[in-house]
């Protein structure tokens, strides 16, 4: 990735020199740096707010309630998850964090879930069906409120940053359901070949 950025920057500078627009290239780079800092600071507020909401939900027991609601679905989707009762709660927290658009918060929770699923894995060199299912679900990233995208749009000065909510809900719902569907299909196909 570093090479790609190096090529883009060097290419921009070389083309700017040959076209006589090196001043414009330099100004654009400085303006982009300024915008990046403003967007990063706008992300801090949104992330702090939603992480606080998640912490309150966890302390209030809402995560446990969500885990209980998801228990029948988790038993169906994560058949080889072992006897670890914490993994269902952690899966619920990961889905909830993604649903609220907190992908930065969902990542450490997702890593914890994978670690817990790996503890119950008999073949440590191969991912289990549950690990593949969770990876697909987590990667699809179902979102009700795309908080990070809204924060970026606010930082970039968008007039109506919340108009992204409905299209994001449609796309992420389809991606989430597709991930589950294909994980179930491949689980059955893989079993036939074993």
Ordered DSSP codes for 37-82: HHHHHHHHHHHHHHHHHHHHHHHTTHHHHHHHHHHHHHHHH-TT-T
State the number of CA atoms in the 13 A half-sphere of 40 facing the CB: 6
Q: What is the pLDDT of residue 170?
A: 94
Give the Cα separation of 47 and 103 in Å (integer): 10
What is the domain range of residue 62?
42-193
Q: Using only C-alpha atoms, what is the Rg of the chain?
A: 21
Q: What is the pLDDT of residue 56?
A: 84
Give the Cα separation of 113 and 119 in Å (integer): 10
The answer as to whether 89 is a domain residue is: yes
The answer as to whether 19 is a domain residue is: no
List, in sequence order, every beta strand (DSSP E) within the chain: none
**For residue 142, pLDDT beyond 70:** yes
- Give the pLDDT confidence of 75-91 residue by residue, as tens digits: 788 877 666 667 877 88
Q: pTM for this one? A: 0.67
Give the Cα separation of 87 and 150 in Å (integer): 30
The answer as to whether 21 is a domain residue is: no
The answer as to whether 30 is a domain residue is: no
The answer as to whether 32 is a domain residue is: no
The answer as to whether 127 is a domain residue is: yes
119 vs 66: which has the higher pLDDT: 119
State the number of CA atoms in the 13 A half-sphere of 45 facing the CB: 9
Give the Cα separation of 34 and 27 in Å (integer): 11
Q: Please classify residue 109 by burial: count the beta carbons closer than 10 Å to its beta carbon, then call 0-12 exposed, 13-18 middle and 19+ buried.
A: buried
Give the Cα separation of 46 and 37 in Å (integer): 15
The residue with tokens 């303006």 is 31
Q: What is the pLDDT of residue 171?
A: 93
What number is the average pLDDT over the span 132-148?
A: 84
What percent of the chain clears pLDDT 90, i.e. is strictly above it? 9
The answer as to whether 23 is a domain residue is: no
The answer as to whether 185 is a domain residue is: yes
Count CB neighbours of 105 within 10 A.
21
Give the Cα separation of 22 and 34 in Å (integer): 19
Pick the closest to residue 132 from 144, 142, 118, 122 (CA basis). 118
Looking at the 3D structure of the chain, how many domains does it have?
1
């Amino acid at each position: 990735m570093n090479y790609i950025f190096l090529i883009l920057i060097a290419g921009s500078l070389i083309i700017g020199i040959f076209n006589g627009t090196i001043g414009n290239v330099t100004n654009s780079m400085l303006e982009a740096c300024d915008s990046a800092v403003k967007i990063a600071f706008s992300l801090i507020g949104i992330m702090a707010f939603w992480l606080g909401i998640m912490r309150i939900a966890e302390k209030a027991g809402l995560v446990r309630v969500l885990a209980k609601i998801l228990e029948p679905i988790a038993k169906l989707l994560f058949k080889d998850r072992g006897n670890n009762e914490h993994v269902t709660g952690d899966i619920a927290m990961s889905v909830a964090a993604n649903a609220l658009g907190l992908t930065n918060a969902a990542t450490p929770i997702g890593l914890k879930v994978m670690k817990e699923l790996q503890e119950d894995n008999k073949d440590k060199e191969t991912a289990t069906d549950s690990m593949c299912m969770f990876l697909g679900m987590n990667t699809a990233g179902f979102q009700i409120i795309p908080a990070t995208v809204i924060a970026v749009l606010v930082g970039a000065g968008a007039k109506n940053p919340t108009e992204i909510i409905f299209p994001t809900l449609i796309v992420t719902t389809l991606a989430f359901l597709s991930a589950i569907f294909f994980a179930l299909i491949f689980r059955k196909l893989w079993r036939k070949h074993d």
